[in-house]
Structures are given as C-alpha cells and as structure tokens.
Structure 1
Amino acid sequence: MSDADSLEDIREQKREELMDQLDGEGDTATEHAASQSADTPNSPIHIDGSDHLDEVTASHDVVLVDFYADWCGPCKQLEPIIEEVAGETEAAVAKVDIDRHQHLAQQHGVQGVPTMVIFSDGQPGERVVGVKSATQLTNLIESYSYYHGWPG
C-alpha cells in the first residue's frame, strides 16, 4: 500500500466520523455531557484541603466553588440555592469553609463571603460575591459549559 492509499484511507475514516457526528451518532457533545453528568455529584462536595480542591477542579470540566463561613448569614441564605444548583446543572459544585481553609480563601482572593469562583478546565475564572439566585448561578455555569459542548 502506498502513502497515497493510506492517506486516502485516513481521509475516508475521518469523513465517516464527521458524518456520524452530524447524524447524531458517535462521541458527540450530548454523549459527553451525559457521561459528565453521570460522574458529577448532585450535591455539593465539601473540600478538605488544597489537594482535594485541585483534584475536584481537575476532574470536572466546570466547577462552581462556594467559599463560605458557618457564621455568615448570607452564606446560610445561599446554602439551599447552592444545593439546588448542584442538583440541576452539569457542573460540579464544591464548598470551602474559609475558617478551616484560610489559605485557600487567601489563594483565591476571597475578601468577603459568600464568594463563588467558577473553575473551567482546572483554572479559576469569574468570581461573584454575595447571594445570587439559582438562575444567576446556572447562567454563569452555562456560560462556561458552552465551551465544553454541554447543552444549555
């Protein structure tokens, strides 16, 4: 078989893969979202240190991290919203107690609570401070999820 023949075989295989994706078959964004959803917990992950946060943000495409304190009234108001968002989105949701993990709060520039930081591909992105609605947080997550081909 010549190089031209093998190149043509590769092109044909790629063409078939692309056609399958257009027809809704093969490894599509929807399938990826379904597999991501199956691996994503539907309740917040309580972070127990730097290594754990690194592990969570590395193992999920999009992670919303809620930096909170037990003594914080607005944090308590936000808690059921965080629970709802964790159960209804494709993203992982994590919680960091700033009193137990002051170094993480400092590392991520948290100056007030509640502060939420969205991570995409393991990197911190947008930061929001204060109580937000489930819709606002879901929209934030979806704006990052779009880049991963998740349905919006």
Structure 2
Amino acid sequence: MPKESIKDKLSKSQDAILVDFYADWCGPCQTMDPIISEVLKELDGKIKLLKLNVDKYPQLAQQFAVRSIPHYALFKRGKILWRKGGIITKRDLEKALKGFT
C-alpha cells in the first residue's frame, strides 16, 4: 500500500482505526495478534484495524514517532486519540478502546 494511501485512509476515515505497528520477526507483536483480534471482534467492528509493518514503511513509523514495537495508535479523522507501546493486556486494551467506540 503506498504511503499516501495509508495517510489518506487515516485522515479521511470517519471510523476509528487502530494502527498496529509491527514486524514479522517481532515475538511480542505475534503474541498480541490474537488479543487485538479478540478485542476488536468484541467491539463489533466499531474500530477498524490497520497493520503496518515497520520494515516495509519505516518513514511512516518514524513520522508517528514509533521507537519500539509493538506499538498501537488509535486514529479518527487523522488525529491520534490514544497510543501505547509494548505488550498490553486484553483487559487494558478493551478498557482503552471502549472509550472511543
């Protein structure tokens, strides 16, 4: 996906989008995948997911000040509403995201 289309998607979307900054080689990222899927499913699709591989899009990772992975940022209409780096429990993720649905 070209960089412009990712930025366009984030800035134009009326839906909240959770961006998952990850890398294929990242163990903690892989640990978080089922947790994120479960939480978003429980939120009935009110929050969309965009997985962004930092190895493929290093400029975007740098632009959003992603210093470590996994890293999550919740966008709505181009604005970051919430962000968190590292592993997060299912309970904490649900609690954080429910406030934006």
Question: What range describes the TM-score normalised by the shorter chain of this pair?
Answer: 0.7 to 0.9
For residues 70-91 of structure 1, the C-alpha deviation after alignment (integer angstroms, 9 at most, x for no partner) is 1111001011112222322211
User: Per the alignment, do residues 143 and 70 of structure 1 end up closer, same or farther by CA in structure 2, a change over 3 Å counting?
Assistant: same
| Match 1:77 to one of 26, 31, 50 | 31
- Alignment CA distance shift 1:50-1:139 (3 Å): farther
Are residue 49 (structure 1) and residue 5 (structure 2) matched? no
Shift of 1:68: 0.4
Per-residue deviation at 1:100?
0.3
Equivalence map 1:1-152=2 (5 Å) = 48-57=1-10, 58-89=12-43, 90-145=46-101
Structure 1 gaps of 5+ residues are 1-47, 146-152
Q: RMSD of aligned C-alpha atoms?
A: 1.6
The answer on whether the counterparts of 2:13 and 2:76 sit within 8 Å (CA) in structure 1 is: no
Larger-Rg structure: 1
Counterpart residue type for residue 20 of structure 2: D
The code of the aligned residue for 1:78 comes to M
What is the one-letter code of the residue matched to 2:33?
A: E
Structure with higher helix content: 1
Structure with more contact order per residue of length (Cα contacts < 8 Å, sep ≥ 6): 2
- Farther off after superposition, 78-87 or 55-64: 55-64
1:110-152 Cα deviation digits (max 9, x unpaired): 000000011122212321011112222222222222xxxxxxx
Q: TM-score, normalised by structure 2?
A: 0.84
Is the CA contact (8 Å cut-off) linking 1:49 and 1:101 kept in structure 2? Answer: no
Aligned residues with identical type, % of pairs: 34
Where do 5+ consecutive residues of structure 2 fail to align? none
**Hey, what's the Cα distance between the residues in 2 that align with 1:87 and 1:109?**
28
